[in-house]
Each structure stands twice: as C-alpha cells, then as structure tokens.
Structure 1
Amino acid sequence: MLRQFLLLLLATTFGCLAQRDGANSTNSSRHRMLPADRAGMFQFPQWEVRVMCAKGPGVDPNYNAETCRKSAFDKLDKMTFFIIGDMGGSSMWQPMNPYTTHAQRSVAAAMKILAKEEQPQFIVNLVREVKDGRFEWTFENVYDKPFLDVPWYPILGNHDRHGSVQAQIDYTQRSGSSRWTLPAESENRPWYKVRYEFGSTSKNKKNTVVEFLMIDTILKCGETEDIKSDSYLAWIFHESNKNPKEPMPGKDKFAQEQDQWLSQSIQQSNANYLFVAGHYPIYSIGKHGFYNNCLAEMDELMRNNKVTAYLSGHDHNLQHLQLTKPDGNTFDYIISGAGAATDRSQEHWDEFNKTAAEMKGKAKVLLHFPSTHWWIKFAGEELLSWTTGGFIQAQVTPDKMVLNFYSGQGSVCLDQTPLVGGLLGKLPFVNQNCKSLYGTTILCPRDKPKCREEAAAQDKTGWFSGPWWCMKLC
C-alpha cells in the first residue's frame, strides 16, 4: 500500500499530468547525420526509403517488395540490432519537464556507447508511452545520438492508446524524423512486417533473412483497466486488475483480420530467423504475469511453425524464458521492458514452473534482470526510477543469434563488485562511459534448432541471494 500512497500523492500534487493530444512536435525539423564512412550504410533520411524494410496493409508494395537489401547489407557477415521496450517517458514517473526518467536516459546513454562500438542496423521498439505532445522530449531528444539514427520499428502498447495512435502512424512521414518507422495502414490495422537480408556477398557467401511480424496485442486481448477507465486512480491501484482476455470493444473484426494475416505470414515465411513481436507477454515471471489465455492459439501457431521466438514488453525487466512441452517442442519468450524503469518482481516465477509441470513439460528461466535483494524491497525504486534500466543487443550470423542483455549507463563496470552500482555509478571518479553486460543467451536459426548446447536455468533470487560482497543495485 505504500507504493499506492506515494503514487496517489504524486498525482494529487501535480494535478493533470498528461496532455492527450497525440504525438505532435513543435521543434523545428533537423536532419541528423552519421559519420561519412557510415552514412551510406545506415542512414535512412526519407520515410519512403525506411519503409522499404517494412510492409503494412496500406503500404505501396512498390516501395519494398517486402525486403530491405542495401548493397552494404549484402557484404555483412553479421547483422546487429537492439531490442528495447516500455521506453517512453511516463507522466506518473516524471510529471514535469523533461518528461523522462533516469532509467530511460541511462539506457539511451548505454545504447549510444554500444552503438558506437558496433553499429546497429535497426532497433525493434516494443514501445509503450511514447505519447502526448511530448514526442520530441520522450523520443527525439532522448535518443538524439548519431549512432542511434537508424530505423526504429515500434509496436503499440497499452499506454499508447492514451493518445492518438494515428498520430504515431503519421509521424513516420514527418520530414524531420529519420528514425520513427510505423508503416501501418491505420489505427484499426496497425500490424506490419519487417524483413532484412544480409550476407550474400560476404565471406560466408550465404544470404541470411531476418523477419519480424509486428502485431498489436491490445487489439487482440483488450486494454488494461487503468487505460480502459482512463483514470489515474485505476493506474495507481492497477496491481489488483486482472489481465484482459477479449478484443477491444468494437474491434473484433480487426482482431480477426490480424490473426489471419499473422497465420498466413508465418506459414509463408522463408526467413532463417522469424520473430513475432507484441506488447503483452505470453508468459512472464514478473508482476503482470501471463497472457497465455488470450494468446494461446498464437502460441501454438508459433510453436508448430518453428518461429524463432516471441518478443514482448509490458513487464519492466529483461527475461529469456523457455517452455518445453512433453513432445520436446521448445519455444523461447524474450521480454525487453526495462527501457524507462525496472521492476524486480518475481511473483509469477512459481506459476511458470507450475504451468510447465501441469502440461508435463519443462520450464526454464534462462535470464531475469534485475534480481531481487533485501534492501531494495521498498516502494520508491521503480516509482522514482532509481535503477538504470536495460535493453538487449542482438547479433545475428547464419549459424546463431547471440542476445546480450545490458543494463543502462551508470552501473559500475567491474561486474561482480562490492559496490552499490546505482549510487556510486553517478560519482565523478567512477567511469561514466560504461554499461554492464548482465548476461548472454542464444537463439537458433529455424533450420538449425540444435545450434546451442543445453542452457542452464537461472536460480530464483531472494532477499539474501548471492554472496553479500557481490550484491549491487543495478
């Protein structure tokens, strides 16, 4: 209840905290450029060029033929991209200018450092809360870094419906935005496809295809109670709300259209790596838990057609889960929702294991960030966003995909250190040009499901987990 009291106090103090007038921008347009030696490889200044790599129901097929193949990509031996979610500035976390959080800025700083070392070709954005008239502050200014000036492919999250969804779609065509790329037909048909090919003229002489099917799980499963009632009190007490299970009112037709499109796209795909991306998780050990009832048919569709993994956000942490059914069919669930805050909840960990046991299968938590420690079991951590957040770097080769799970800038770089990283990372004598690699996992191509060795599961952490000398606040 302490958490709810603090939230209610903030809402009362700052009054009406959000303008719900769409994703508009008042700042003058500007064209961000990469260094000359990389500009031809990664810069997509015109929206017509950016959507070459994506296809939605309303996009002219002459723009793309559903593929993105710049000559530079053909020469790549490896393709790199980032996965970030729940990254918009929240009016509850940060009700005043600059409308961002410490965690969001920390993640952006770490992404910049990592991108300078190894340039991503694009960013998968499991977005939530890039909304209001603050688009310039919560997106453009936060990620205004030369090496992040690549296409960002977003999906819609539950909080995005606080504002204008159509404004986010229209923003793709804004002349001053060289990144935001949401090539959907309309608010009712927000799904689309992203497809990249690389490596045909590389030393491996092997063309590799990576494909993403970007869907709207809110359209399919419905809104959470805090959004449905449009009430800050509902948001404050949202922990008691049940996860929605039915399509949004009046949207059944469009939800069915999306299901048909997804099924057809999965079955027709020839991609080496095929992902489905939606905001709600099917399984999660975090606070929000499961959406497996609403997404059960989609789960089976992905399993039966060897989809590489399901990407989602919603819970404010990083997770890599595996669920193996009795027939040996193993599927991976990736959650990246720590773009603006981190939640250490593990309240559905036991339920995940129980679900697997009931189906006589096997559940594995390959990675969960951040962990839980006794001194941070208080209300203010996520509310005030004192942590440094996190994101995922994906490195794709013909033989495997490596997922690197990073915390934001400010964590002490000496990995297992007897220091409190979230606090000492801000001091001037600590190296600020750092980001911490928390863990690494592997995904396999669809035609090589056995590319990885049996991965060890992560232990559930508790109040006194780990040696006392290596605990840190990440």
Structure 2
Amino acid sequence: MNCSEKKIITYFIVAFLGFCMVACIKPTKQENNILLPVKPVYDSVLKVHDDALNVILVSDWGRNGFYNQREVAEKMAEVASSAGTEFFISCGDNFQVNGVQSVNDPLWRINFEDIYVHPSLQKDWYPVLGNHDYHGNTQALIDYSHVSRRWKMPARFYTKTKKLTITTPILFIFLDTPPLINSYYEEPEEYPDVETQDSLKQMKWLKTVLNSSTEQWKIAIGHHPVYSASTKHGNTHELIAKFSPLFEKYKVDAYFSGHDHDFQHLKPKGSYTDYFVTGTGSAVRESSTDENSVFSMSAPGFTYLSVSGNELKINFIDKEGNIVYTYTKAK
C-alpha cells in the first residue's frame, strides 16, 4: 500500500468517526420534539399563596367530552378542589365546531353542563367568543347568562375587577377578537355575526378602559393570540397592530388567548406584556417556536393563574396533573 492510499483510508476513517460522534449527540427537546430556546422551568407541586387570587383558564374545549375534554375537566376539578379557584375564564371556541343556535341548544348540556359537573367547577365562568362560536348564534352565549347560574357573559367585551386588598385591585379585560380580524369578513356565510359588530366601538372602549385604569394588575383575555409561533395560525397581525401598542403604553401585565391548540409563553424583545396561549382544553396540535418564544408545548390541559400583591404566577398543567411550565412576574 503506497502513501497516497494510506492517506485516503485515513481520511475516510476520520470522517466516519466524526459522523458517528455527531449522530450520537441529541439536542434537548420537548415531548413533541420541538426544540426550545430555553430549558423549561416548572414547580414540582402547585404552590399557592394564602393571599392570592387564583383563577383557572381553559380554551377551545367544546367537543362533546371527546378529544381529551372530559379528562381535562376532571383534572381541573381536582386542582380546583385542592388548590382552590375564585372563578374560571374561558378563552373562546366554547362550542366546536359550529357554535350554538340558542340558549336551548342541546350542546349547552352535552358540551358544558354535563362535562364540567364536579362541585368544584360550579363557580362563575367568564367567557369570550371564539371564531367557532361565531359560526353560530353569538348572542345566545350572552343570553345564557340569564339561564345559567355560573355562566357570566354580560356583553361581547367587558371588564371584571377583583380586589385582593383595598390597595391591590386586579383588572380583567375580556375582548371580542373575531370582529377585529379581516379574514372573517371575507366569509360572511360562515361568520354571519361578524359583520354586525362595531370593531371601532370596541377599540375606543378598550382605550377608555386602559386610560382610566388605576389597578395594580391588568390582565387581558381574547380568543386569538397576539403573538403565536404555531404553524397552524401564528401571529395575528391585526392584533399586533391594535393591541400591542396599547398594552405597552398602559402596562398590561399579561394577555391570555386560545385559538392555537397548544401551550405557549411568548415575549417579544423589549415587551412589557407577557403573552400566553392556552388553547389546550380538548384537541391539541403540534407546537413550534420562533424568536418570541419562551416556552411551547403540545399537551391537553389548562392554565392556573395566581395573583398576589407583588407577583403574578402562571402554571401550565396537563391532563395528567403535571405542571409542565411555571412563570412568575414580579412587581
């Protein structure tokens, strides 16, 4: 064997060994094989302060008990029983796939009353409307407030204020996002109620609410994400233009949404507001990340929000009761 042949053989051996070493290195990934920008942080057990306001948020849940809806509801009941909750928030798409037709629609029983049946789930529910709700009669979701003791939807957009103490009020702002998104006007037969809404009136109302707010904590809720890394829907550009400047100007602490069927925490560079997606109340989709992502995971579940005098804490909890992500925002 001459010198040239030895060099060629040596080259191939080195290249082969290098390939083997690279192949053996596995990046840290989520269960859904989505590479995260940071290692997930979470509490091993749910930690609740005695002086905190605790709320459970769930979204995209109305599937007749199927696609994990019943399992998520059962775990919500367990957490509400053990850790407590003041009330529940639904981030929309309350009735998949075509909304409800009236307050007497059987889906109220099949999708809601017979699913969230545990005594710990009988506290007040504060919902917003999603795009699937707009397939049906959206006024029926408001009118059901006069039928149900626990369903509390006074209008399409509204506020609720809770006080931890005299000096620590919390403002919850409930928004109607479908009429703020251009694409829904292109399908009037699919979303008949969208065209009847006054989106300018809602935005004027939101500016007035924020301008006059003096609460220590401001939390906004809408169905559509402002920011999202999901490959299904992703960022809602109309809401980035409409909401983000107001949220920054008036220091809205957090915005919660659904629509994309995964858990997400996003925070654009320099943003004061934290954006959370919790569209995991039943069927989920593959998750993804982008430059704004702090956390992303595809798993059925719900969000446990705890607000005290000087901190806001969220826990993403899956249908098995595992805390998959914890985030704390201090003031």
Q: TM-score range by the shorter chain?
A: 0.7 to 0.9
**Aligned match of 1:161:** 134
Q: Which structure shows the higher strand fraction?
A: 2
Which letter does structure 2 place at the counterpart of 1:156? L
| Distance (Å, rounded) in 2 between the aligned partners of 1:249 and 1:199 | 42
* Aligned match for 1:119, one of 84, 90, 108: 84
Residue of 100, 124, 149 corresponding to 1:151: 124
What amino acid is the match of 1:368?
S
Work out the CA distance in 2 between the residues paired with 1:321 and 1:224: 25
Q: CA deviation at 1:107?
A: 0.8
Correspondences of 1:197-208 after superposition (within 5 Å) = 197-200=163-166, 207-208=167-168
4+ runs deviating over 6 angstroms: none
Partners in 2 of 1:128 and 1:307 — Cα distance? 24
Shift of 1:301: 0.7
Q: Give the corresponding residue for 1:268.
A: 212
Q: What letter matches 1:308 in structure 2?
A: D
Deviations 1:345-391 (A, max 9, x none): 32xx34xx2xxxxxxxxx3x222122xxxxxxxxxxxxxxxxx6111
Structure 2 gaps, min length 5:
1-49
Structure 1, residues 117-147: CA drift from partner, whole Å, max 9, x if none?
0110011110204233211110111101111
Q: Deviations over 1:164-193 (max 9, x none)?
A: 11111111011xx22111011xxxxx1111
Number of residues of Structure 1 aligned to a counterpart in Structure 2:
273
In structure 2, relative to structure 1, the CA distance for the partners of 1:224 and 1:390 (3 Å cut) is farther
- Whether 1:300 aligns to 2:245 is yes
Question: What is the CA–CA distance in structure 2 between the aligned matches of 1:173 and 1:249, rounded to whole Å?
Answer: 25
Paired residues of 1:85 and 1:339 also in contact (CA < 8 A): yes
In structure 1, how many angstroms separate the alpha carbons of the residues matched to 2:319 and 2:182? 31
Equivalent position to 2:162, from 196, 203, 206: 196
Partner residue in 1 for 2:294 = 366
1:100 aligns with 2:100: no
TM-score (norm 2): 0.77
In structure 1, the residue corresponding to 2:326 is in which secondary structure?
strand
SS at match of 2:238: coil
| Counterpart-to-counterpart distance in 2, 1:226 and 1:121 | 39
1:83 maps to amino acid: L
Deviation at 1:210, TM superposition (A): 1.4
Question: C-alpha distance in 2, partners of 1:249/1:78?
Answer: 41
Aligned-partner Cα distance in 2 for 1:227–1:137: 28
| SS in structure 2 at match of 1:341 | coil
Aligned partner of 1:249 in structure 2 is 195
Distance 2:247 2:215 in 1: 14
1:335 aligned partner: 277
Q: Which residue of 2 aligns with 1:400?
A: 311
Measured at CA, do residues 77 and 439 of structure 1 come closer, stay the same or move farther in structure 2, by a change above 3 Å?
same
Q: Please name the residue that 1:84 is paired with.
A: 58
Which position in structure 2 is the counterpart of 1:318?
263
Secondary structure of residue in 2 paired with 1:340? coil
Q: Measure, in 2, the Cα distance between the counterparts of 1:277 and 1:171.
A: 20
Bigger Rg, which one: 2
Structure 1 counterpart of 2:129, which letter?
L
- Match in the other structure for 2:75: 110
What is the match of residue 17 of structure 1? Answer: none
Shift, 1:300, TM fit: 0.5
**Amino acid in the other structure paired with 1:255:** S
With over 3 angstroms needed to count, the CA separation of the structure-2 counterparts of 1:152 and 1:227, relative to structure 1, is: farther
Identify if the C-alpha distance between structure 1 residues 339 and 290 changes in structure 2 by more than 3 Å, giving closer, same or farther: same
User: For residue 154 of structure 1, what is the amino acid of its counterpart?
Assistant: P
SS of the aligned residue for 2:223 comes to coil
1:160-179 aligned within 5 A? 160-174=133-147, 177-179=148-150
Deviation at 1:401, TM superposition (A): 1.2
Task: Work out which of the residue numbers 172, 185, 192 in structure 2 matches 1:212.
Answer: 172
Partner of 1:5: none
Q: 2:223 maps to what in 1?
A: 279
The unaligned stretches of length 5 or more in structure 1 are 1-75, 90-98, 185-189, 201-206, 232-246, 354-362, 371-387, 410-434, 449-474
Whole-Å Cα distance in 2 between the matches of residues 225 and 394 of structure 1? 34
In structure 2, what is the equivalent of residue 258 of structure 1? 202
Q: Deviations over 1:286-306 (max 9, x none)?
A: 121011234413210111111
> SS in structure 2 opposite 1:119?
coil
Structure-2 change in CA distance of 1:397 and 1:294 (3 Å): closer
Indicate conservation of the 8 Å contact 2:315/2:326, yes or no: yes
Q: Is the 8 A contact 2:175 2:220 kept in 1?
A: yes
2:34 aligned residue: none
**CA deviation after TM superposition for structure 1 residue 199, in Å:** 3.4
* Gap change, CA 1:331 and 1:139, over 3 Å in 2: same
Is the CA contact (8 Å cut-off) linking 2:317 and 2:323 kept in structure 1? yes
Cα RMSD, aligned residues only:
2.2
Q: Deviations over 1:406-454 (max 9, x none)?
A: 0013xxxxxxxxxxxxxxxxxxxxxxxxx1111101123xxx2xxxxxx
From the superposition, tell whether residues 391 and 156 of structure 1 become closer, same or farther in structure 2 (CA, over 3 Å). Answer: same
Structure 2 CA distance for aligned equivalents of residues 342 and 250 of structure 1: 31
Q: Secondary structure at the match of 2:267?
A: strand
Q: Residue 182 of structure 1 corresponds to which residue in structure 2?
A: 153
Cα distance 1:408–1:228, how it changes in 2: closer, same or farther (>3 A)?
farther
Aligned partners of 1:310 and 1:334 also within 8 Å: yes
Q: 2 CA distance for matches of 1:437 and 1:345?
A: 17
